[in-house]
Structure 1
Amino acid sequence: MNQPSSIGSVQMASLFLFFMTGSSIVLVPSPLTHEAGAGAWISLLLAWCMGAVYLACILYLYRKHPDLSLVGSSRLALGKLPANLLMIPVVVLMFWNVAGIVSEIGLFFRSTMLKETPTYVVNSLMFVMISLTARAGIVVIARMSALLLAMMVAFIVVVLLLVWNLYEPDFLLPILPNGMGPVLHAAYIVYGFPYSELIVFAFILPLVRREESHKVRKHLYIALSINGLLLMLSVIGSLMVLGPLTGDLKYSLFQLARLIFVREIIERIESIIGFSLIVGFYFKASILLFILVRTVAEWLNLRDEKLFTLPIAFVCLLLSVTTYTQEASLDEMVNVVWPLLNNLCYVLPMLAVAAVTLVRRQSPPDASRSPE
């Protein structure tokens, strides 16, 4: 397999922040507030803590074997055959995950901007873009992320600031009208999406330049903290403006942008926020497709991973137009099934590899070499 170029730790952190925030900031407020009401911020905080624990686990593996991805670490810890079997559900779920992200883009367009455009047209065009982006490599993706991430965050902050006159703090009370049960259920939803998905970065952390590997931990935790802050502001801002309706309205930031009116000078800017949200969807899908292609190539010992980018993207396209055909079924998948699948296919394999690595931490010095 061709050796990919490396990137800096700050660039990896920006990719991590984009991946964690890109689509979740659009989708998270609605199911959170639907389940937990004004206690949604507590659910988000609980889920964020679990994400911090999982980030500590993948950083532990990276610290032990900085040159190995999760594929290599699992082969070293478990042996080649068990590791290859362990990667099957991981790879399968990545296929479904990429397809689900692009399906959400299609549904967003159909619900807000391009109501007469068939979803498969949007999905096809989006897969062309994300496959070309993933094929360009990690260096190009990292360079793109700086500008696009700044643009997305700026638009989100602007929207939250421009609706300040509509804020009603009374909507934040009562915090726990029905006890902790709904809050824990909402925490389960946001834990499954996006925080349990950060496990996939264990496959690309070795792409950080060796001389900057000691900075990765700090930069990734800063990125995770910014992600938690942005989601918290999004949830609280949506609650204070939309109140109980937040749980019934999808794409709450887009709905907030529709309400902006500043002396007939600034109004109806939902297209701008819509553009920034689409950028978030697009970039998260591009990052995950790159990780999927790289993982498949390493798992199957393929020489040139770029040759398989378009075929893998085509399979994901077929999944997106045949599986996620109804908005209600997609919502149920994201809110109910997805956290369970992430636990089984992402979290458990990573925890198993981390546990075995911890037990065998007294391995000989040459054990860090990739197994043949």
Structure 2
Amino acid sequence: MRKEETVSSGQMACLFLSFTLGSAVINIPQPLTQSGNSGAWLSVIIANGFGMFLLACILYLYRKNPDFTFIDYSRKILGKWITLCISIPILLLLFLILSYIVIDIGGFFTSAMLRETPPYVFHVLILLVAAMTARAGMEVMARMFVLLLCYLIIFSLMVIVLNLPNYHLGYLLPVFPAGMKPVIHSTYMVLGFPYGEIVFFSLLLPFIQKEKNNSIKKYMFLALLIQGFLLILSILCTIMALGSLSGTFKFSLFQLARLVNIREIITRIESFIGIALIVGSYMKTSIMLFILKETLSRVLGLKDERIIIFPVMFISLLLTLTMFKSEIEFFEAVFVVLPLIMIIVAVLPLLLITIIVLFTGKKIERKDETY
């Protein structure tokens, strides 16, 4: 890690909001309303509480030693070899998630905007741009993503507000048409993406400026609350606008933008929200690539971690082209398999380390260069 590269607490919170909101606001409403019906928004409330718990664990470890991630704690507490057994599955999971994000961007382009263009064209472009962004460093991403995040939120809210004439409150009832089971199932679907991914963001906390890290707890929790509010709002508006069809239309905000028609003056604004959705996924791709680069470089003991950016990009590109044969396989991987893998590979080790540090009061003073 390059010690001279630091960001403020506010900038880190903006990166955190970009990370948790970026591709979630595109993908979450449709599968959740398909599974949880009109009670899907309750699933986000429950899952957001789970995310708050994980964030509290991460910030507790950060407060104990700002220079350490939970993997650094693992090396000191559990030893080198156990940490290696933890780090390798995490690296593989990071590769998978990065590939999933890129596949989703390609799917958005080919299904909603440029239908005749092969998906691999978009995979190459988004990975190349994200690789150059990650190579530029944390400070560059922090400054740039503040503006892109504002663009994403403003246009998403604009679509929601302009659809006011299309909303029908009656579509929200009954809240539990099939009991609590669909809501619980929907909650499980988002435990991996986006809330389980909060564990990986702990790998970026050492980049916070040490003299300005007093407010990080407040900013991070506020960012997660904003993410939950926007996600719940998008689900509620999707249900109120589309009713029983809300679970059939993928990329819900894009579909809502198509409904906007105010006196035939404000209409056909889906291109703006399409760009906003692409921007959100781009930000998350860049952050995930940066996290992967930092983790892999420490496992390999590299002094210049930037040299592995493009090899990592190339491996991710190959994965995007070979992993799935159909959209159904991709859906099952993200919303059925990923939550279980995320809990086993990332969440449980974090909880174990947190419990050990909490009950032993172990304080780590020295940090090694490699895992």
The answer to whether the 8 A contact 1:71-1:299 is kept is no
In the other structure, the counterpart of 2:368 is 371
Q: Quick one: structure 1 residues 18 and 2, their matched pair in 2 at CA, closer, same or farther if it must change by over 3 Å?
A: closer
Structure 2 residues without counterparts, runs of 5 or longer: none
CA distance in 2, matches of 1:151, 1:362: 43
In the other structure, the counterpart of 2:72 is 72
Structure 1 residues without counterparts, runs of 5 or longer: none
Amino acid at match of 1:91: L
2:111 maps to 1:111: yes
Amino acid at match of 1:324: F
Moved over 2 A (4+): 1-4
In the other structure, the counterpart of 1:316 is 316
CA distance in 2, matches of 1:296, 1:362: 26
Q: Shift in Å at residue 314 of structure 1?
A: 0.7
Secondary structure at the counterpart of residue 302 of structure 1: coil
Superposition pairs of residues 337-356 of structure 1, within 5 angstroms? 337-356=337-356
Q: Quick one: structure 1 residues 307 and 4, their matched pair in 2 at CA, closer, same or farther if it must change by over 3 Å?
A: farther
Q: Shift in Å at residue 81 of structure 1?
A: 1.9
Aligned residues: 369
Superposition pairs of residues 1-372 of structure 1, within 5 angstroms? 2-363=2-363, 367-371=364-368
Amino acid at match of 2:57: C
Q: Quick one: structure 1 residues 321 and 4, their matched pair in 2 at CA, closer, same or farther if it must change by over 3 Å?
A: farther
Q: Shift in Å at residue 33 of structure 1?
A: 0.8
CA distance in 2, matches of 1:16, 1:325: 32
The answer to whether the 8 A contact 1:6-1:209 is kept is yes
Secondary structure at the counterpart of residue 3 of structure 2: coil
CA distance in 2, matches of 1:206, 1:2: 10
The answer to whether the 8 A contact 2:3-2:207 is kept is no
Q: Normalising by the residue count of structure 1, what TM-score does the alignment of the two structures yield?
A: 0.97
Q: Normalising by the residue count of structure 2, what TM-score does the alignment of the two structures yield?
A: 0.97
The answer to whether the 8 A contact 1:189-1:339 is kept is yes
Q: Deviations over 1:57-89 (max 9, x none)?
A: 111111111111233121122112211221111
Q: Deviations over 1:289-313 (max 9, x none)?
A: 0000001111221110001111111
Aligned-pair Cα RMSD in Å: 1.1
Q: Deviations over 1:110-135 (max 9, x none)?
A: 00111010011110111110000110
CA distance in 2, matches of 1:241, 1:153: 19
Q: Shift in Å at residue 4 of structure 1?
A: 5.0
Q: Shift in Å at residue 239 of structure 1?
A: 0.4
Q: Deviations over 1:99-118 (max 9, x none)?
A: 10000000000001110100
Q: Deviations over 1:26-84 (max 9, x none)?
A: 11111111111111111111011000000001111111111112331211221122112
